[in-house]
Chain A
Amino acid sequence: MKHHSVAAAALTLLFATATAAAGPGSLSAYSASGKSGQALPVIKETLVAPPDVPAAIHRDYPARVVVQLETKEVVKKIASGLNYDFWTFNGTVPGPLIRVREGDTVELHLRNDPSSHMTHNIDLHAVMGPGGGAAATMTPPGQESVFAFKAMRAGIYVYHCATPPVPMHIANGMYGMILVEPPQGLPPVAHEYYVMQGDFYTTTGYKYTGYTTGAHPTPLLAFDLQKMLKEQPTYVLFNGQEGSLIGDHALHAKVGDTVRLFVGDGGPNLTSSFHIIGQIFDDVQVEGGTLVNHNVQTTLIPPGGAVTVELKTLVPGTFLLVDHAITRAFMKGALGQLVVSGEPQPELYHKVSSGPAPADKAGAF
């Protein structure tokens, strides 16, 4: 019994690591104290690829949530007919959304794919502890690190790799988000989606061809250090690919739905002026915190920050997600679609007429 209360107090944060990063010292005699979450029911988190989101949590008790992430370096499409060497969590940009409940203990396993070049780690902004976990998860290729933390503050948080050179790991796509639901959960909505903006720096300009090799017949764009240092991206993208939320991949809703978007900015450099053309955000959880603002046209999302926005889709049509620093939307790729289906709502929106302006009226002045 006494042991349990001690354990509960110690829950603040326990970096019981099982890896390489710790020296030979991390042997049994020492880590015995890291067993606190053991009494909690263990739940293995099922992760899904963006823009999808794991199912809402319907628990009213804390759990030990086991999350399995894998860092992978993958060559994938960045824009039509062009590839880029992304560094990722679980092969996607952003990495999967992790969903837990305030009070849960998260046991995070970070595996680094054996074919990686790089060492990787993870810093989750939902963690209160050294490096947000980075100090406990430096993981060479083929290894796995494990650390545990208690999710103490509800909110929507960014996670990212923090291995030197940090800006390059982030610029190559190593970010994602973790949602910590409040104990009472989030109100049910028709749709939840997950979007992250990121800026990318390639040696050739927007939509210009990179180079090909035998191994990479599709042109492969190369990372451009100088452009990153100058903070002049060639691509600004939602979910790591031009067109990731367009056409077949557009977000969908029906007239009258409430849509909840978890929107983050991985950076590394640009702040997003997030806007949906033809919509007003009913609620914005400002900076992902507890302050809720209403009737917002454009919300700022800084690199390493996130917001939850909710909007009611009242009128059918295709609505564009943009960074309203609008060059980025139309000249660098930061464009997505929300397609709302349903009956027209003429009382809310309809076109009256168009054509040549009547000459008589014009002359009447």
Chain B
Amino acid sequence: MGRIAFAMLLALLGSPAYAVARYVKLPAGTFISALAAPNGGPQRVHVAAFWMRVEPATNGEFLAFVRAHPRWQRGRVLPLFAGPHYLAAWRGPLTLGREVRADGPVTQVSWFAARAFCAGEGARLPTWDEWEYAAAADATRRDARRDPARNAAILAAIQASTGSYPGAIGRHRADVYGVRDLNRLLWEWTDDYAAMFPSADSRNPGTGPSLALCGGSALAFFDRTQYALIMRVAALAALRPSEAAPRVGFRCVRNDGE
């Protein structure tokens, strides 16, 4: 009884409950990307300090966003920016429905919509480098990628969630920066995801600089054992920016000092 009343109260409160998202600061740093450099070798990447959302954007937050910005509502949004799967799991343009939890991560949002949401909170989507840099961490280390047990646990968690809605946010410990759920929960849009160019048949090894990519090269992995990451890149790279997928959500970042 009390629980129902509390739920109704939450529903009444609506959007203001989600108004403030928490960000934490990640210090500047350098790491070796799992993506290969154009010559196929390791790619050392420097990332400036930035602030990252502790948690991915939720359905409740996105509902508040589309209430405030009707042109991003399902049914109103231009097809140029969001295809037919956009927010398809929601019961209505302004209704989540029972299956879609307000505190669950929002998915089926296009890249355009994710960017607009972030802009709305004075932020932006992370670059791939920023995302990968952050996601290299675990609860105690800034770069835990060499730990086979950690990698296996991530893979197992991704596979174990087959067939259900994305899990709840915050089931696992926050990482060393205080960020949650980067690796296990969702594929997350990055601002420059479309520039990770897989060749049409991605089994082709990176064949060095190509004219089609202006001296860049088709996507290749320097660390071929980072399966969770490879799956992520494969999942994102196949999407057009207007497309939405049930496992693809996002979180925003801010530049340091803004």
Touch test A–B (CB under 8 Å): yes
Contacting residues of chain B (186-245) with chain A, CB-CB under 8 angstroms: 187, 198, 200-203, 221, 224-225, 227, 230-231, 233-235, 237-240, 243, 245
Establish whether residues B160 and A140, one from each chain, have CB atoms under 8 Å apart when the complex forms: no
Q: Contact check: which of A23, A119, A226 meets B238 at CB < 8 Å?
A: A119
Establish whether residues A229 and B225, one from each chain, have CB atoms under 8 Å apart when the complex forms: yes
Bound: A259/B202 CA distance, A: 40
B235 CB to closest chain A CB (Å) equals: 5
Q: Contact check: which of B155, B234, B243, B246 meets A164 at CB < 8 Å?
A: B234
Task: Provide the residues of chain A in CB contact with B221, threshold 8 Å.
Answer: 164
Contacting residues of chain A (161-215) with chain B, CB-CB under 8 angstroms: 162-166, 168, 203, 213, 215
For B, the interface residue count at a CB cutoff of 8 angstroms equals 36
Q: Which residue of B lies closest to A222 (CB)?
A: B156
Assess whether A141 is interfacial by the CB under 8 Å rule.
yes
Establish whether residues A165 and B231, one from each chain, have CB atoms under 8 Å apart when the complex forms: yes
For A78-109 the 0/1 string (1 means CB < 8 A from B) is 00000001000000000000000000000000
Establish whether residues B238 and A131, one from each chain, have CB atoms under 8 Å apart when the complex forms: no
Bound: A203/B246 CA distance, A: 28
Assess whether B7 is interfacial by the CB under 8 Å rule.
no
Q: Contact check: which of A20, A130, A162, A168 meets B240 at CB < 8 Å?
A: A20
Assess whether A58 is interfacial by the CB under 8 Å rule.
no
Identify which of B160, B221, B237 gathers the most chain A CB atoms within 10 Å of its CB.
B160
Bound: A47/B230 CA distance, A: 32
B128 CB to closest chain A CB (Å) equals: 16
Task: Provide the residues of chain B in CB contact with A307, threshold 8 Å.
Answer: none
Contacting residues of chain A (136-170) with chain B, CB-CB under 8 angstroms: 136, 138-143, 162-166, 168
Bound: A168/B228 CA distance, A: 10
Establish whether residues B163 and A223, one from each chain, have CB atoms under 8 Å apart when the complex forms: no
Task: Provide the residues of chain A in CB contact with B161, threshold 8 Å.
Answer: 117
Establish whether residues B160 and A142, one from each chain, have CB atoms under 8 Å apart when the complex forms: no
For A, the interface residue count at a CB cutoff of 8 angstroms equals 42
Assess whether A224 is interfacial by the CB under 8 Å rule.
yes
Assess whether A75 is interfacial by the CB under 8 Å rule.
yes
Establish whether residues B156 and A117, one from each chain, have CB atoms under 8 Å apart when the complex forms: no
Establish whether residues B246 and A115, one from each chain, have CB atoms under 8 Å apart when the complex forms: yes
Establish whether residues B238 and A222, one from each chain, have CB atoms under 8 Å apart when the complex forms: no
Establish whether residues A203 and B238, one from each chain, have CB atoms under 8 Å apart when the complex forms: no
Q: Which residue of A lies closest to B200 (CB)?
A: A135
Bound: A138/B233 CA distance, A: 13
Q: Contact check: which of B163, B202, B235 meets A118 at CB < 8 Å?
A: B235
Task: Provide the residues of chain A in CB contact with B234, threshold 8 Å.
Answer: 118-119, 163-165
Q: Can you show 23 pairs from A to B with CB atoms below 8 A apart?
A: A20-B240, A20-B243, A75-B163, A115-B162, A116-B246, A116-B247, A117-B187, A117-B247, A118-B235, A119-B237, A130-B201, A134-B201, A140-B238, A140-B245, A142-B245, A143-B243, A164-B230, A164-B234, A213-B160, A222-B156, A223-B155, A225-B152, A225-B225
